[in-house]
Amino acid sequence: MKNIVYFDLETRRSAAEVGGWHETAKMGMSVGVTFSTAANAYFIYTEDQVTDLINQLQQADLVVGYNHIGFDYGVLQPFTFWTVAEMTRNLDICLYLSERLGHRLKLDSVARPTLGGHSKTAEGTDALKWWAEYEKTKDPQRLLDIAKYCCYDVKVTMAVHQFGINNGYVLYEDKNGREVKIPVEWKED
């Protein structure tokens, strides 16, 4: 059985705090989450476990995420000598769709119509707020809030990917709120 690893992470600092979106390496990781199809399990990592996360990504037959090549891998880059995108086999759903459409889509713009109304449970800004609260109070509930949110994003990404494999298309909401079908050629390997 192939091991597809679905992946997402949340950061400790916002783009505004580090000098812009081109400075992802300075954002730090609060929580990273994967789902491994081989293990049929979620794995949750904190920044002190980032080497284990990178090892899992490197060993996967395929890493699937949403903007993980353009964003998440930049956050991970300070923790490894190697270029993360070059040492992994990837399907970045955001990149795949934007190459076909000529513009980027938010995960919610794809998930909501594709999955019949299911979408993200919070926003990345909520995760940043929870991290700030965790740093002040050391309340483990805040870290758990980030992990739950990140797990759900991984679950939504996985569901969009599986829908595309099974149906040969996904849907997205255009700027006028209309649902548009976009063909995809995704396989499970």
Mean pLDDT of 81-87: 92
**pLDDT per residue as tens digits for the range 110-164:** 999 999 876 655 677 899 999 999 999 999 999 999 999 999 999 999 999 999 9
Mean pLDDT of 170-187: 92
pLDDT value of position 119: 62
**pLDDT per residue as tens digits for the range 33-61:** 999 999 999 999 999 999 999 999 999 99
Whole-prediction pTM value? 0.94
pLDDT value of position 183: 97
pLDDT value of position 118: 64
φ, ψ of residue 114 to 5 degrees: the values are -70, -40
Q: Is the pLDDT of residue 182 over 80?
A: yes
Rg (CA), the chain: 16
pLDDT value of position 136: 97
Q: Chain centroid to CA 8: how far?
A: 3
φ, ψ of residue 188 to 5 degrees: the values are -85, 10
Q: Which domains does the chain have, with CATH numbers?
A: 4-183 (3.30.420.10)
The overall average pLDDT reported for the chain is 94
How many CA atoms are closer than 13 Å to the CA of 25, on its beta-carbon side? 8
pLDDT value of position 187: 82
